[in-house]
Structures are given as structure tokens and as C-alpha cells.
């Protein structure tokens, strides 16, 4: 195979070079997928996301401060995790979908808990909301770390 490489256009790789580059990419991808997620990360995400519904039960303004601290803690945990493991968020469709589910779940559970509290005087709704939210956030965080399925 003849190439007409100039200083402006680089030479195309040979089949062997291309195959070697693809093998190297696959080796690196496999190595990245093999890195286990530390269990502190989904645990911290679950605990901090459960604090928002629970903070409603605290007297104000302490509840608002706890909720703000939980949000700040969540942002710090994500940043530490991303920095420590060299993760660059691509914002792919799966990540965006999972974040949307998490946001809808958190807001939806808090809305249900608020309705139960206001309409029926059931403050237990906040506790149930926090527990369900913690389990869901733990599961979603672990799910996000799984490698995406390869298309055929």
C-alpha cells in the first residue's frame, strides 16, 4: 500500500500498526474496567443524599444548613472520587439518564414526603424518603461505574 505523505499530511498507519494500536486501546480499556470502585464512594453518596430529606425534621435554620452542607459534601465527594481515579465525565447518554433519574427520584420522594407531612401530619414520610433515596443513590452510583455494554 503506497502513501503520499507530506509534511502536512501524516502517513496512514499500516494494517499491523493499526491492529497494534487497537489492541493497546482494548488493553487500556480492560485495565480501567478492572479497577474496583471503592465502597466509600457509593456509601458517602447514599448518606449525603439521605441527609436532605432528614434535614427537614430539624429546627430551622439548622435544617437548611445541614441540607446545604450535604449538597456541598456531595459535590466534594464526587470531585475527590473523580480526581483520585482520573475520571473525566463524558456526559454520555447513560450518565445523563442516570443523573436525571436520580434528580427526579430525590425531588419526587421529597414531594411525597412533604405531602404526607402537610396533609396527614406523617413526619415518618421524611424518614422513608431518606431511606429509599439512600438505597436508590447507592444502586445508581454502583450502576454508573459498570462499563457500558459493547454494541454488536
Helices 40-55, 62-85: axis angle to 10 degrees equals 160
pTM of the complete model: 0.67
pLDDT tens digits for range 56-109: 888 989 989 998 999 899 889 888 887 887 766 666 677 778 878 888 888 888
The b-or-e profile of 41-66 (16+ CB within 10 A means b, else e) is bbebbbbbbbbbbbbbeeeeeebeeb
Amino acid at each position: 500500500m503506497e502513501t503520499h505523505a507530506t509534511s502536512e499530511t501524516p502517513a496512514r498507519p499500516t494494517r499491523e500498526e493499526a491492529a497494534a494500536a487497537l489492541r493497546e486501546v482494548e488493553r487500556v480499556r480492560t485495565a480501567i474496567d478492572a479497577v474496583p470502585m471503592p465502597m466509600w464512594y457509593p456509601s458517602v453518596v447514599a448518606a449525603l443524599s439521605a441527609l436532605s430529606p432528614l434535614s427537614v425534621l430539624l429546627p430551622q435554620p439548622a435544617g437548611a444548613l445541614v441540607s446545604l452542607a450535604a449538597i456541598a459534601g456531595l459535590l466534594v465527594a464526587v470531585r475527590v472520587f473523580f480526581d483520585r481515579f482520573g475520571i473525566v465525565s463524558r456526559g454520555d447518554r447513560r450518565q445523563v439518564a442516570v443523573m436525571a433519574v436520580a434528580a427526579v427520584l430525590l425531588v419526587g420522594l421529597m414531594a411525597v414526603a412533604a405531602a404526607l407531612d402537610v396533609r396527614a401530619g406523617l413526619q415518618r414520610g421524611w424518614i422513608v424518603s431518606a431511606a429509599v433515596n439512600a438505597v436508590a443513590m447507592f444502586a445508581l452510583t454502583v450502576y454508573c461505574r459498570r462499563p457500558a455494554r459493547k454494541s454488536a
